């Protein structure tokens, strides 16, 4: 029986040692990722498409009045716009854009009208100039200040050094008498 207990103790100790060992790992090895070159292609070019549009705005309350039209055959763009200016004229711009650049022709129709300055008939009301009287108060009468004599100066208290007496011991040596032993 003792042998079985002893064998079990040794088995537990051996198993405990086997699990307490630090694991051994090999160094990691990684392969560099392989990237292929991106396959970009030039953007696809589309041939120019012909178009044409125009619009017209006339809004009396906001004084907006303009016309715009434009057309192209894919190579040459032409257009024009008209704008009513605040001075009463109309600005007309005709343009052409092609491989040689942008060319604009600007014209004005009508005469610039500016309102004529008129002197106002308004006159400010005539108010009588105010009259001020001298203030009606008397200058205050100040009483000369009265100073009392300063309070007496206090002397610093004079302290004498404390007089300590050496303490007398309150302990007295006990008076022993020899013990009395009984005689036999």
- Region 20-26: what's the mean pLDDT? 74
Q: How many domains does the chain have?
A: 1
18 pLDDT exceeds 60? no
* Within a domain: 94: yes
* Within a domain: 90: yes
pLDDT-based confidence at residue 16 (cuts at 50, 70, 90): low
- Model pLDDT, residue 14: 67
* Within a domain: 87: yes
* Within a domain: 146: no
Containing structural domain, residue 84: 51-109
Map 28-69 to HEC letters: CCCCCCCCCCCCCCCCCCCCCCCEEEEEEEEECCCCEEEEEE
- Model pLDDT, residue 55: 92
CA distance 116 to 113: 9
Answer whether 115's CB lies under 8 Å from 135's CB: no
Instruction: Name the average pLDDT for the chain.
Output: 82
Q: For 131-178, how does the pLDDT look when each residue is reduced to its tens digit (9 = 90+)?
A: 888 777 787 788 888 878 777 777 777 877 777 776 666 777 777 777
* Within a domain: 78: yes
2 pLDDT exceeds 60? yes
DSSP 125: -
24 pLDDT exceeds 70? yes
Q: Which residues pair with 77 in a beta bridge?
A: 72, 97
Whose CA is closest to 81, among 64, 69, 98? Answer: 69
- Model pLDDT, residue 11: 75
Between 155 and 17, name the one with better pLDDT. Answer: 155
- Model pLDDT, residue 21: 67
Answer whether 89's CB lies under 8 Å from 107's CB: no
Between 108 and 183, name the one with better pLDDT. Answer: 108
């Amino acid at each position: 029986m003792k042998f079985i207990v002893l064998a079990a103790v040794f088995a537990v100790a051996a198993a405990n040692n086997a699990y307490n060992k630090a694991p051994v790992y090999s160094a990691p090895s990684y392969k560099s990722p392989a990237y292929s070159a991106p396959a970009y292609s030039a953007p696809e070019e589309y041939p120019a498409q012909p178009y044409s549009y125009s619009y017209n705005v006339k809004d009396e309350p906001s004084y907006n009045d303009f016309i715009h039209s434009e057309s192209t055959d894919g190579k040459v763009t032409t257009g024009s716009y008209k704008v009513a200016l605040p001075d009463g004229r109309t600005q007309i711009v005709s343009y052409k854009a092609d491989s040689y650049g942008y060319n604009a022709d600007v014209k004005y129709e009508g005469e610039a009208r500016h309102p004529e300055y008129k002197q106002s008939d308004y006159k400010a009301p005539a108010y009588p100039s105010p009259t001020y009287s001298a203030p009606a108060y008397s200058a205050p009468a100040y009483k000369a200040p009265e100073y009392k004599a300063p309070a007496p100066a206090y002397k610093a208290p004079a302290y004498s050094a404390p007089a300590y007496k050496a303490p007398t011991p309150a302990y007295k040596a006990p008076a022993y008498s020899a013990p009395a032993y009984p005689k036999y």
